[in-house]
């Protein structure tokens, strides 16, 4: 009899009889071909700043070992090409920044941006962020959570793929320390409405729509939304 597959990081779960099933994810994986600049950045910085997918399955996995210290932790979900990650992390040298991004060329772009910004306090991870929040982080571990322009999954039948759901809000709130904040931004009005509905209903959180966070750099996602005539909505919630 074949041994059941371990329910590993990115998108594997098992049925009761050991069969692998596919999870509903909040992202889709894209191509992984590098440009010359991305390849150069990957070769120069990947070993130090990128946590390999398989590392999270090793006994005794510890973020402190990857950062080389214990410091207040910021988590970014969907760091893209690092347009926000690099300057925000560089401005917070006393914090560790754990950035989740599954698109490898985006990770490579982020690496050279981090190097240019002198932001050595970032570690990138390509493992599913929801799984990682549940299994790699403990209650109260997170000082700040950033979710800027998550995939809107515009078609109604795909709304179940959206990251900001009641289940994820419950999980994220549990990982925030009391007083810690969750900053979000989207350029899709219906997703902003869903975020408000979901996060207002989470008893561990308080907050709502706020003025644009001045520190957040304008990324290509934001520029694209503005050029298309969509309003940008910033939200901020605090853990009670």
Instruction: Going from the first residue of the chain to its last (240 residues), give the mean pLDDT of each consecutive group of 10, the final group possibly shorter.
Output: 42 53 50 89 97 94 96 98 98 98 96 98 97 96 98 91 97 98 97 98 98 96 96 98
- What is each CA distance from 18 to 5, 59, 105, 128, in whole angstroms? 7, 22, 34, 21
151 included as an active-site residue: yes
CA-angle at 215, arms to 210 and 221, nearest 5°: 80
Distance of CA 161 to the CA centre of its chain: 15
Tell me the longest C-alpha to C-alpha distance in the chain: 58
**Active-site position among 151, 190, 200, 234:** 151
Quick one: pLDDT at residue 2?
A: 40
User: Percent of the chain, pLDDT > 70?
Assistant: 87
Handedness of CA 44, 45, 47, 48 (dihedral sign): positive
CA-angle at 210, arms to 172 and 138, nearest 5°: 15
Nearest to 89 by CA among 234, 216, 233: 216
- What is each CA distance from 176 to 36, 138, 179, 218, in whole angstroms? 39, 9, 8, 25
Give the pTM: 0.88
């Amino acid at each position: 009899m074949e041994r059941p597959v371990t329910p590993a990081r990115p998108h594997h779960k098992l049925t009761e009889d050991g069969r692998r099933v596919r999870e509903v994810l909040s992202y889709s994986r894209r191509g992984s071909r590098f440009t010359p600049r991305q390849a150069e950045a990957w070769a120069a910085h990947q070993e130090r700043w990128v946590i390999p997918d398989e590392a999270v399955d090793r006994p005794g996995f510890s973020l402190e070992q990857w950062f080389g210290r214990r410091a207040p932790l910021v988590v970014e979900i969907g760091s893209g090409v690092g347009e926000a990650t690099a300057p925000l992390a560089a401005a917070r040298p006393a914090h560790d920044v754990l950035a989740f991004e599954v698109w490898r060329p985006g990770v490579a772009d982020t690496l050279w941006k981090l190097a240019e910004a002198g932001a050595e306090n970032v570690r990138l991870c390509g493992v599913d962020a929801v799984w990682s929040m549940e299994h790699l982080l403990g209650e109260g571990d997170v000082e700040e959570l950033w979710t800027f322009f998550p995939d809107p999954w515009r078609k109604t039948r795909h709304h179940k793929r959206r990251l900001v759901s009641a289940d994820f809000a419950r999980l994220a709130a549990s990982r925030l320390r009391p007083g810690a904040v969750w900053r979000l931004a989207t350029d899709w009005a219906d997703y902003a409405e869903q975020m408000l509905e979901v996060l207002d209903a989470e008893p561990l959180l308080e907050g709502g729509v706020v003025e644009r966070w001045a520190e957040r750099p304008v990324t290509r996602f934001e520029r694209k939304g503005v050029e298309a005539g969509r309003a940008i909505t910033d939200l901020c919630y605090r853990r009670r």
